[in-house]
Amino acid sequence: MQQFLQAAVIGVSLGAQYALLALGFTLIFGILGVVNFAHGGFYMLGGYVAYSCVSLLGLPYPLAVIGAVAATAALGWVFELYFLERLIDDHLATLMLTLGLYLVISTGSLTVFGPLAMEFHFPVTGAFHFGSIYVPKENLVVLVICLTALAALWAVLFRTDLGRGLRALADDRAVAMAQGMRPKLLFPAAFALATGLAGLTGALVTPILALSPGVGDPVLATSFLTVILGGLGSLGGAALAAFIVGMVEAYTSVYFGGSIGALVLFVLVLLLLVFRPTGLLGREVRGA
Amino acid sequence: MKHSRTPLAAVLTLFTPLALSIPLDLAATAAQAQSCEVKVGAMGPMSGGAAQWGLAMAGAAELAAAEVNAEGGIAIGGKKCKVVIVPYDSKYTADGAAAGSNALASQGIKVIIGPVGSPEATGIKPVAARNEQLAWNAAYAKNALEPKFPLMFHIAPGPGTWSDAMVKHALQSFPAIKSVALVAPNDQGGTDIASVDAVAYRNNGVTATEEYYQRGTTNFAPIITRLLANNPDAVDTASSPPGDAGVIVKQLRLAGFKGPIGRMGGPGTEEILRVCGGIDVLRDFYWFETVAETEKVRDIDNLYRKLVGKEPPGGTALWGNLPAARLTMKAIANAGTAEDASKVAAELRKLAVDDPNMGKGVWSGQKQYGINQELFFAFGVGIIKDGKNLGVTRMEPGT
């Protein structure tokens, strides 16, 4: 029973992190129709910016996190405006551009920071122990920030003109543009929002786990898996799928081991694609 | 007239370019002598989680080449040729190493320093044999060497050679260990090491269980929950990459595990310390150190700065790889070619294992692999107890 509860604690913690990543990933696909292969790169960059702010500039960690969000959002904005925008309807070109950006970010990080993991730690350490169940304090802090960020994202998308504009473009770009929506402003904004979320996750999670030039690779795989499960382009689906992935990963790894855990996740996605190709909450045709 | 001019024209046609070509050829030969180059490959993971090991492999090749070049180059066919290292990122994968062998072969490269990991060694062996290339792998795989691949050499022995001595030494420092859980990636780079380590533990009366994870795992909390369900006295991170091992240590301590943590696998203690949060978090730790550190061994880093002009890649892997690269340069010089791998291998086998920095070693491998093409120098066993680093004990070959 204790093992069961411990797995639940781990699953929720993993799910919150995956949700932040997957929401950004699916936001970009839903609004721009772009599969962002640089998403793991923005996660990694968020970690490195936060690390640089703390270690090189001596900033307090909360400011470093804000700096990481600002830097990754700014890079996302510039990249969308000057590179993606020109080829936005060419899916192969945008795929290659984002993949290229990921290679630039990862190789650049390797060149600047070296191949070794950085000495970068979360300011809050320790764990609450309830018998043999433990809840790391740092995970609790990250969980609260993640849930707040998710709520803020929901508010932006569903309670502001910006969000309404973004959703309108996602639903039907031609009609939205005819109504006065400006893709040249809204597309970079959506991309910046998504990359800022990836940067936020990187700044929060890398000091808990590890920060090295390879940390973006598994992030991309997990984000991709999560949004496919949730339905590409579906925000609610991504959030739901993130917690399902977190729980499945936690329970299968605890009860069947690390190898089987990864396998179960892929089998689950495979079965879903066979029986429900649009994912949990995805639609059959993307409007944009 | 026309008839008489034709032979003259023919003679001129034949001899003018020939006459012109003589000085041109001479000039080309002189230029070749000046720009004579010997290309040697360097292979290993140069990006991703194991990049430190691949960069150390390339660094060792670069340093050995820089030493030779500082003396004017390598003597081949009466000429002094500059050694140029051609690096290849094999990404710690079998297909990466196989592709690397082909890519280097396409440039006419027949001698390779590297690759590093077990998946890479598995990938490169048949392809390098087909390409008639000599290669050095640093893998701890059970089949790192095989008699059917006589052009493959091995940089350092695997756990089959040193794990028993390691366990005995660890048990002297941590006698309360009666059970251990080994954790490693679920590919050949993990299973070949952890399973051999487990046998060494069992042979010394310690109950050993093995737990494997998917390479690329970033959060080990579920695996740690599973590990700790068996209440092991110690956890051994075996050949988990140092970054992974650091996270495992951090999360083990967060979960309340207070026992010793071992590492009978690849190098990386510095990185583990950095990732986990320092020596107070690590607290009780025993590890296999590929190189028994001395002042002379540490000098390699300064030599690297001086000759290569860069900061060394960090860790001890550069030190461990350097003797193989140096011996290869000697073997190429003795063979008088870098294009005939069999000749270079024959010369390599004749060389005594005596490195200016690492000291004397031996050729080994006959017992474990059936082929005596493995370098074996003194290794070390490091101990951290109660948060204090007690240093690395030197263990001679055959200990």
B202/B135 same-domain check: no
Q: CA-to-CA distance for A87 and A35, rounded, in angstroms?
A: 13
Q: Which domain holds residue B224?
A: 159-289+381-395
Span B276-300, pLDDT tens digits: 999 999 999 999 988 888 899 999 9
How close A72 gets to chain B, by Cα (Å)?
21
Domain membership of residue A89 (yes or no) is yes
User: How many of the other CB atoms lie within 10 Å of CB of A275?
Assistant: 7
Residues in chain A within 8 Å Cβ distance of B313: 114-115
Cα A145 from Cα A151, distance rounded (Å): 10
Angstroms from B210 CA to nearest CA on chain A: 10
Q: What pLDDT does residue B398 have?
A: 63
Q: Which residues of A touch B315 (CB under 8 A)?
A: 116
Domain presence at residue A285 = no
Give the helix ranges, DSSP H, for chain B. 2-34, 51-70, 94-105, 118-130, 159-173, 188-203, 221-228, 242-254, 269-276, 279-282, 295-308, 317-335, 341-350, 366-369
Residue A12 covered by a domain? yes
Average pLDDT over all residues of chain A: 89
Report chain A residues whose CB lies below 8 A from the CB of B246. Answer: 117, 210
B278: nearest CA partner in chain A: A119
Q: Using CB atoms within 10 Å of the CB of residue A274, give its burial: 0 to 12 exposed, 13 to 18 middle, 19+ buried.
A: exposed
Burial (Cβ within 10 Å: 0-12, 13-18, ≥19) of residue B231: exposed
Lowest-pLDDT range, A116-125, B27-36, B154-163, B205-214? Answer: B27-36
- B233, part of any domain: yes
Chain A residues 200-239 with a CB less than 8 Å from chain B: 209-210, 212-215, 217-219, 221
Mutation test of the interface with chain B: which of A1, A17, A44, A116, choosing the one with the most B Cβ atoms within 10 A? A116
Are B139 and B283 in a shared domain?
A: no
Residues of A in contact with B275 (CB under 8 A): 117, 119, 210
Q: Do A127 and B254 touch (CB under 8 A)?
A: yes
In a domain, B373, yes or no: no
Q: What pLDDT is stored for residue B31 in this prediction?
A: 42
CA–centroid distance for B57 within its chain? 5
Alpha-carbon gap, residue B293 to A249, rounded angstroms: 41
Closest residue to A209, CB basis, from B51, B218, B223? B218
Q: Hey, is B81 helix, strand or coil? A: strand
Q: Which residues of chain B neighbour A249 with C-beta distances below 8 Å?
A: 222
Residue A69 inside a domain? The answer is: yes
A117 vs A215: CA distance, rounded Å: 10
From its phi and psi, is residue A256 left (phi > 0), alpha (psi between -120 and 50) or beta?
Answer: alpha
Specify the long-range contacts of residues B389-395, CB closer than 8 Å, at least 24 apart: B389/B279, B390/B173, B392/B289, B392/B292, B392/B293, B393/B169, B394/B292, B395/B162, B395/B165, B395/B169, B395/B292
| Same domain? B189 vs B202 | yes
In a domain, B264, yes or no: yes
d(CA B61, CA B367): 28
Burial readout A73-102 (b: 16 or more C-beta within 10 A, e: otherwise): bebbbebbbebbbeebeeeeebeebbbebb
Q: Is residue B135 part of a domain?
A: yes
Residues B387 and B277 in one domain: yes
Contact list in A for residue B51 (CB cut-off 8 A) is 110, 115, 212-214
* Residue B220 is assigned to a structural domain of this protein: yes
* CATH number for the domain that contains residue A130: 1.10.3470
B213–A117 C-beta distance less than 8 A: no
pLDDT of residue A284: 58
CB contact burial B338-368 (16+ within 10 A = b; e otherwise): bbbbebbbebbeeeebebebbeebebbbeeb
Identify the three-state secondary structure at position B357: coil
Residue B86 sits in a domain whose CATH number is 3.40.50.2300
Q: CB pairs below 8 Å between A and B: how many?
A: 114
Measure CB to CB from residue B274 to each of A7, A117, A132 and give the nearest one: A117
Does any domain span residue B58?
Answer: yes
- The residue with tokens 């988990």 is B240
Find the residue in A nearest to B52 (Cα).
A115
Report if residue B310 sits inside a domain. Answer: yes
Q: Are B253 and B281 spatial neighbours (Cβ–Cβ below 8 Å)?
A: yes
- Write out the residues of chain B at the interface with chain A, using a CB-CB cutoff of 8 A: 46-49, 51-52, 55, 186, 211-214, 216-219, 221-223, 225-226, 229, 242-244, 246-247, 254-256, 270-271, 274-275, 277, 313-315
- Let me know if residue A280 belongs to a domain: no
Spell out which residues of chain A touch residue B116, defining contact as CB-CB under 8 Å. Answer: none
- Give a yes or no: residue A229 inside a domain: yes
What pLDDT sits at residue B6? Answer: 44
List pLDDT tens digits, range A92-148.
999 999 999 999 998 899 889 987 888 999 999 899 998 888 999 999 998 999 889
| Helix, strand, coil percentages, rounded to 5, for chain A | 75, 5, 20
Contacts of B219 in chain A (CB under 8 A): 10, 14, 209
B102 and B245 fall within a common domain: no
Residues B248 and B137 in one domain: no
User: Smallest Cβ distance to A259: which of B48, B212, B271?
Assistant: B212
Q: Are residues B137 and B49 in the same domain?
A: yes
pLDDT per residue as tens digits for the range B239-250: 998 889 999 999
Q: Does A266 touch chain B (CB under 8 A)?
A: no
Taking the Cβ of residue A257 and every Cβ of chain B, the question of whether any pair is shorter than 8 Å is answered with yes
Q: What is the domain range of residue A27?
A: 2-275
Burial of B265: CB neighbours in 10 Å, binned 0-12, 13-18, 19+: buried
Average model confidence (pLDDT) across chain B:
89
Nearest-CA neighbor of A34 among A231, A218, A233, A182?
A: A233
Q: Domain check: are B249 and B386 in the same one?
A: yes
Render pLDDT for B134-176 as a digit per residue (tens, 0 to 9): 999 999 988 999 999 999 999 999 898 899 999 999 999 999 9
Is B325 among the domain residues? yes
- Å from B46 to nearest chain A CA? 8
pLDDT > 90: percent of chain B? 73
Domain count, chain A: 1
Task: Assess whether B66 and B126 both reside in one domain.
Answer: yes
pLDDT category of residue B8 using cuts at 50, 70 and 90: very low
**Least confident interval from A32-36, A238-242, A283-287, B188-192:** A283-287
A142 in B contact zone (CB under 8 Å):
no
| Residue B181 and residue B69 share a domain | no
Bridge partners (DSSP) of residue B135 are B112, B152
pTM: 0.82
Is A288 inside any structural domain? no
Q: Same domain, yes or no, for B316 and B267?
A: no
Instruction: For residue A258, give the nearest of B212, B254, B277 by CB distance.
Output: B212
Q: How does residue B381 score in pLDDT terms, banded at 50, 70 and 90?
A: very high
**Average of per-residue pLDDT across B306-310:** 95
Tokens encoding A99 = 């993949």
* Same domain flag for B195 and B72: no
In a domain, A248, yes or no: yes
Rounded-to-integer distance, Cα A195 and Cα B67, Å: 47
Q: CA-CA distance, A207 to A141, in Å (whole number)?
A: 12
Rg for chain A, CA atoms, rounded:
19
How many domains are there within chain B? 2
The beta-carbon neighbor of A134 closest among B47, B243, B256 is: B256
Alpha-carbon distance A100 to nearest alpha carbon in chain B (angstroms): 15
> Is B69 in contact with B300 (CB distance < 8 Å)?
no
Q: Look at residue A38 and tell me whether its pLDDT is greater than 80.
A: yes
- Substitution target from B92, B93, B214 for chain A, most A beta carbons within 10 A: B214
Would the pLDDT of A174 be above 90?
Answer: no
Token code pair at residue A145? 């920030």
